C-alpha cells in the first residue's frame, strides 16, 4: 500500500492512478490523518474463469506420491 498526502495526490494524480491501475492501493492523508483509500476495481470475471498460467512446482508429484504410498501399504 502506498501513502500520499492530499496535496501529493492532487499534484501527481496520473502517477497515483497509474499505480492503482497496476493493482496498488493508495491511502490518502489530510493533516496527518487517513481520509481515503483508492483501490483498484475488481474484474467482473470470477477468479475461476480468468485465464492464468498454471502453477508448476519442480519436484515430486503429490498425486504420484499418494498412489505409490497406497500401493506400498497394500
Dump pLDDT digits (tens) for 26-59: 999 999 999 999 999 877 777 777 777 777 777 7
User: Which tens digit of pLDDT belongs to each residue from 58-73?
Assistant: 777 788 888 888 888 8
User: Which tens digit of pLDDT belongs to each residue from 21-30?
Assistant: 998 999 999 9
Q: Enter the pTM of the model.
A: 0.56
Residue 32 lies in a domain: yes
CATH number of the domain that residue 7 is part of = 3.40.1620.10
C-alpha 29/C-alpha 35 separation (Å) is 6
Residue 2 lies in a domain: yes
Residue-by-residue DSSP string for 8-57? HHHHTHHHHHHHHHTT--EEEEETTEEEEEE-PPPPSS-GGGS--PPP--
Residue 31 lies in a domain: yes
C-alpha 57/C-alpha 65 separation (Å) is 14
C-alpha 65/C-alpha 42 separation (Å) is 38
Amino acid at each position: 500500500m502506498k501513502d500520499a498526502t492530499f496535496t501529493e495526490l492532487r499534484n501527481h494524480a496520473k502517477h497515483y492512478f497509474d499505480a492503482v491501475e497496476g493493482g496498488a492501493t493508495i491511502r490518502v492523508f489530510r493533516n496527518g490523518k487517513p481520509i481515503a483509500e483508492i483501490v483498484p476495481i475488481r474484474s467482473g470475471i470470477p477468479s475461476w474463469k480468468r485465464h492464468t498460467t498454471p502453477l508448476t512446482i519442480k519436484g515430486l508429484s503429490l498425486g504420484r506420491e499418494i498412489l505409490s504410498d497406497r500401493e506400498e501399504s497394500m
